Amino acid sequence: MADFIAGQLKDRVRIRPTVYSQFALFSEQQVADLLQMAIGSHGDSRDYMGRQVLRAPDAVKSIVAESDVINRLAAEHGLVFRPDNEALLLYYQKSNWVPLHLDDQLEYEFNLLTMLRRVKASEASRTATYFWGADGEFMATDLRVGESVFFHASYTPHGRPPLPEGEEVVLLAVGMGRPRE
């Protein structure tokens, strides 16, 4: 099965998951501000695919725009994105998870995940975001606060296993799509 999926995806995946070091895309202050907004808005989130999701408030979108992260990613990866990106806040707590899935290519083909909060029950914890690459290999990214991963979300299966007792994750997800023809 892994070989079949790898064969199907091989020619389609343009961007392998790229991890950006702590505060490389958003400053330490921006991450702190994003987290405060995420905490303040958590009550408005809804259950979706095993975790809590919230369409980001305008103040979050302002920080994304201020950081110029979308233009920086486009230039670095040789891509052009539509101006209508989507920002979501993703909340995971005990037993929350998301199955391996692909994002909707017609909406947002690429995704940037940035860790805003990471509480581990122990140092041995490995509740990372997992990616199934076009080469058939798995990649796990256990991001620290302020780290980000950019990937081709409509062609790279990705997900997160259930969090154990005492763990918590808050992520900013920014979806980007190419111009429609």
Whole-angstrom distance between the N-terminal and C-terminal Cα of the chain?
A: 34
- What sign does the dihedral 165-52-180-105 (CA atoms) show? positive
The two tokens of residue 4 are 């079949």
Q: What is the pLDDT, as a whole number, of residue 109?
A: 93
- Over its C-alpha atoms, the chain yields an Rg (Å, rounded) of 16
Say how far residue 165 (Cα) sits from the centre of its chain. 22
pLDDT in tens, 38-58: 999 999 998 888 899 999 999
Q: What is the pLDDT, as a whole number, of residue 72?
A: 97
Q: What is the pLDDT, as a whole number, of residue 14?
A: 62
- Say how far apart CA 85 and CA 180 lie, in whole Å: 13
pLDDT in tens, 82-92: 999 999 999 99
Residue type, 136: G
**pTM of the entire structure?**
0.90
The two tokens of residue 178 are 């190419």
- Say how far apart CA 44 and CA 83 lie, in whole Å: 26
Is residue 76 within 8 Å of 25, Cβ to Cβ? no
Regions in the chain scoring below 50 on pLDDT: 1
